[in-house]
Amino acid sequence: MNLMELIVPNELVVCKACGYVMGRNSLKDKCPACGVAAKMFEPYVEKISRYRRVVFFLDIHPILVHFPQAFTFTMLVLSALCLLMPDGREGLLVPTLKTLSLCLPFTVFLAAAAGLFDGRTRFRKVTTPLLVKKIYIGGFFLVLSTVNAYMAVTMAVSTKTLAGMLFVISGCFVCTFLLGLIGAKLMNSKFQG
């Protein structure tokens, strides 16, 4: 079996119980998703091109969105800890917060670029109503993350600065939450052929 066949098998089967789709050659004695017997599988014909199946299989955008989500949550906790424990600011809290603040805009940009590519591949355009919402929220997220990075680099560490960063990071967190909700709705969409 070559690598392409492993990534995107030619012959697909679908579990009648749960809808899990997989390559016929990978099917063992039971469904890897729900555990029913292999006899519950039937042939499945994908209605999209092989190229699009490869792009979907790689899950580039869903993987990349985890970085800004994780950074934002961690920064939210760190900034709150810095406010609650002023003596801990000299330790690793502030340098870690500053490092994550500098990295966040780049991760947001990469996730957004992957999202545009993914949206274009999945829906053939990025002007659908939900994708437009994601673009606006993602753009606002990028602006907030850039403001936060600027604050982290240029302002002296003080309670006022940390409170401002906590406010901006909270906005970033709301953006990640909203983007995740919309993304979850889009994951189960049927694709155009």
Of 32-36, 82-86, 159-163, the range with the lowest mean pLDDT is: 82-86
pLDDT higher at 12 or 99: 99
Largest CA distance in the chain: 65
Count Cα atoms within 13 angstroms, Cβ side, for 57.
18
181/92 Cα distance (integer angstroms): 33
pLDDT of 82 over the 50 cut: yes
CATH number of 3-45: 2.20.28
The token pair that represents 57 in the structure block: 């299989």
- Cα 188 → chain centroid: 15
Count CB atoms within 10 A of the CB of residue 58.
13
Residue whose token pair is 């936060």: 148
Q: What pLDDT is stored for residue 182 in this prediction?
A: 92
pTM of whole model > 0.85?
no
43/38 Cα distance (integer angstroms): 12
